[in-house]
Amino acid sequence: MKFSLKFIFLLPFLLIPFSLFSQVKDTILLNKILKELKLNENEIHMELVTDKILPNSTDKTFFIIPKYRTNEKDENGFYFYEFDAILIIADNKNGKILNRFYESNAWTSDAINLTSLSIDTGLYNLNKKTRAIGIRVNYSGSSRPNPYNQTDLSLFITENEKLKRILKDFPISEFHGEWDTNCSGEFEEVISNIDIGKTMNNGFYDLIIKSKTKKSQNILSNNDCTEKIKTYQSFKHLKFDGKKYQ
């Protein structure tokens, strides 16, 4: 088995311990927000809370706050979580909440682990005045014979005092497979990038999804593990219907 393939399988497990540390950079600002939300730290999963100063509006910070809905441990010591999603844009000076989004039971972490949440401030310029903010939700499976990783992207815009979701849980990367943990097996990886199109629908530019798919098959023959790879690209256009991209 090639080292690169083994590393792909091991990467999620290597990353998990680092998620035990909070990603929050401004704890003072977070405490002000939690006070306004009337939440205690023990009501949220601190290790997954993350924040980022908005590059196009540096006086504001975006927060992702996963609030416990279910927090249980089974007889084998494995945790089962269900989270409500709280997304906040706050004023850096006084902690005042300027925009917010709430979704009940937004994320689950069980056999498929929710390993991290991250804020994507890429150049999602949907028109001359509107720039979207992305959040990425990263999942990792715990089965070695059936490796699995996925990252979902959602896009939000500000609308009055709210954050409005205009793209929900689009799989921006996926990896899955089945193998004998020695050599033989089949795997598929899909990596997608989003470009802003030149045509508009309902006031927002179309999104062009460019995806690269890699399919590999490993075969053990005469104690030699050989890999056959096929790759292809695909394109998809998402149009804004006035409420969301689809």
Identity of the amino acid at 133: I
Task: Write the pLDDT tens digit of every residue in 8-53.
Answer: 444 443 333 334 445 788 899 999 999 999 999 999 999 999 999 9
Measured from the Cβ of residue 221, the count of other Cβ atoms closer than 10 Å reads: 9
Q: What is the pLDDT of residue 22?
A: 58
Q: What is the pLDDT of residue 181?
A: 94
Asked if pLDDT for residue 2 goes beyond 80, the answer is no
Asked if 67 and 44 touch (Cβ cutoff 8 Å), the reply is yes
Which is nearest to 54 in space by CA: 206, 139, 163, 138?
Answer: 163
The residue behind tokens 């680092």 is 18
Determine phi and psi for 109, rounding to 5 degrees: -135, 115
Asked if 5 and 225 touch (Cβ cutoff 8 Å), the reply is no
Asked if 45 and 24 touch (Cβ cutoff 8 Å), the reply is no
Q: What is the pLDDT of residue 212?
A: 98
